[in-house]
Structure 1
Amino acid sequence: MQRIALRLGVAAATVTALAAVTTGSVTAAPSASDRSEVAACDPVGVTRFNHTGYKACNTRTVDVDWNKDGQSDESFVVAPDRTIWHIEAASDGWKEMPHGFRADDMVGAGWTYGQRCVRVLVKTLINENQIWSSCFSDGSWHPWWRVYV
């Protein structure tokens, strides 16, 4: 079984949170607590499709059955450094979602206007919870956008 520590090394014990990197036009703001609550607990191993990666503790794993055949086709997690990762059944391992976005937790995934979409939670400096989404169409994941609810 291949073990991947979602961009943070090979073993959970050696995981160190990386500084947030601004990539592209949208980057989530760090929370007012400066992520100390995430750093205070160990990353959690997540094994999907015979590949293991690590998510931030106290965060959700979203497993999605896109084709409704009763089996998970893709999974999403937020890593300890707040990057968002996914793995598909036919892939060779966990991959970071494009566009360099950062999040604090997974919210869910589903079909929106005929596109596969994933939603994440972002806690802002003023402790406002925001939902952001990225959708897959035309063969790629598109930039993150804020969902106003």
Structure 2
Amino acid sequence: MNSRFRLAVATAAVSLSAFGVLGVAASPASAGATGTATCFGYTGNFNSGGAYFVDWVYGPDECFGVAPSGTIWHTWSGAGAWKEMPGDGRAANVVAAFESSAGKSVKVVTESGNYYCNYDDYATNTWGGWYRTSTDHC
């Protein structure tokens, strides 16, 4: 699987090497005031993890973030706003993104240290539900 991603941190300095991050995005994801981050011109209210920009190879670029309530959100160019991810997931932070020519997935971690993934099949362009994982990839 291939992934290229960057992280924009809203409020705290985060070790980028902990996420395998390639660089910090200034645009289209940028850090704002405490608790806010802007991606593709859309500003959202997020926890200290900020917005997580993903430069997908096979699909349009996208940003992910976790609100203070734990809800998981995403946006992309032309989305019109931040959209809550399907599946009623809750998390502490977005930690990784993975992609193949068949689809893409995003991985989050909860406050209790459990990892969950959500997968979007490129054939249907539909995100599925959140599922628990204990592996390095989704």
- TM-score of the pair, normalised by structure 1: 0.61
Which residue in 2 is equivalent to 1:50? 41
Question: CA, structure 1 residues 104+73, in 2 after alignment: closer, same or farther (shift >3 Å)?
Answer: same
Give deviations 1:67-115, integer Å, cap 9, x for gaps.
279xx81000000100000001121110000111100111111215731
Equivalent in 121, 125, 128 of residue 142 of structure 1? 128
Which residue in 1 is equivalent to 2:54? 64
Q: Distance in 2 between matches of 1:93 and 1:67?
A: 22
- The amino acid of 2:131's aligned partner reads W
Q: Distance in 2 between matches of 1:95 and 1:75?
A: 10
Please report how far the alpha carbon of residue 147 of structure 1 lies from its aligned counterpart in structure 2 after TM superposition. 1.1
1:43·1:80 contact (CA, 8 Å) conserved in 2? no
Q: Distance in 2 between matches of 1:112 and 1:146?
A: 20
Coordinate RMSD, CA, aligned: 2.2
1:62·1:109 contact (CA, 8 Å) conserved in 2? no
Which residue in 1 is equivalent to 2:82? 94
Whether 2:98 is the aligned partner of 1:110: answer yes
Provide the identity percentage.
31
2:39·2:51 contact (CA, 8 Å) conserved in 1? no
In structure 2, the gaps of 5 or more residues are 1-32
Q: Secondary structure at the match of 2:86?
A: coil
Segments of 4+ moved more than 4 angstroms: none
Q: Distance in 2 between matches of 1:146 and 1:60?
A: 23
RCO comparison, higher one (Cα < 8 Å, 6+): 1
2:36·2:50 contact (CA, 8 Å) conserved in 1? no
Q: Distance in 1 between matches of 2:72 and 2:94?
A: 9
Question: CA, structure 1 residues 68+142, in 2 after alignment: closer, same or farther (shift >3 Å)?
Answer: closer
Larger gyration radius, structure 1 or structure 2: 1
Please report how far the alpha carbon of residue 131 of structure 1 lies from its aligned counterpart in structure 2 after TM superposition. 1.0
